[in-house]
Copies of this chain bind each other. A is one copy, B any other.
Amino acid sequence: MSVKYPTPTINNDKKIKIDNHLKSKGMAFENALNISNQYYLSKGIANIHKKPTPINIVKVDYPKRSSSKIVEAYYQTPSTTDYNGIYRGKYIDYEAKETSSSSFSFTHIFKHQVDHLINIRKLGGIGFVIIYYKKYNEIYIFNIDIFEELYYKGEKKSINIDDANKYGIKVSQGYTPPVNYLKGVDELIDKNN
């Protein structure tokens, strides 16, 4: 099914810059995560990648014998999450989001993505949502257990910065890697074991 590119994947907006030192390099949150993952890979620490955006290809032209050009295609709704891979022998799976508001609204994540992460936890993996609060220049990891609680059982329809501080694991920012989120993942793994 081809659909309009969905509202939830706001992190694909390359125009949004982040406000820390990465600003000077014009790096969006997604890009900062990708560079961090490249760093982890090069150091033999983890092998985590962003999945390509799913595209429904309708028409392909062959202007030259050697090349094919897609001339009609549409964005599809992703069936799972943005990122997955392996770290410390564990299956890692997460959705990355950024918000310019003071609160992360649940309308910016698909229900089936939350359910996917719940299923990952059931199968013994590490699932979480990582959110960049642009306004405060702060990044938080929400273990899927906590995210599920807030999403399905909470009274609020969003996670504001105070709740992020209360329920999330704060992620440090730096140069190499720009987003050292695996330090936060260590906490999740150690808690789960």
Contact = CB atoms under 8 A, between A and B. Distances in A.
Interface of A: 4-5, 41, 44, 46-47, 49, 51-55, 57, 66-76, 79-80, 84-93, 116, 119-120, 122-125
17 contacts: A4-B68, A44-B119, A46-B123, A47-B120, A49-B79, A52-B53, A55-B57, A55-B73, A68-B74, A69-B74, A71-B71, A71-B72, A86-B120, A89-B124, A89-B125, A90-B91, A91-B91
A43 to B, nearest CB: 12
Q: Work out how many copies of this chain go into the complex.
A: 2
Contacts of A46: 123
Contacts of A52: 51-55, 76
A44 B91 contact: no
A31 to B, nearest CB: 15
A13 to B, nearest CB: 13
- Minimum-distance CB pairs A-B, first 7: A89-B124, A52-B54, A86-B91, A70-B73, A91-B91, A52-B52, A86-B125
A143 to B, nearest CB: 16
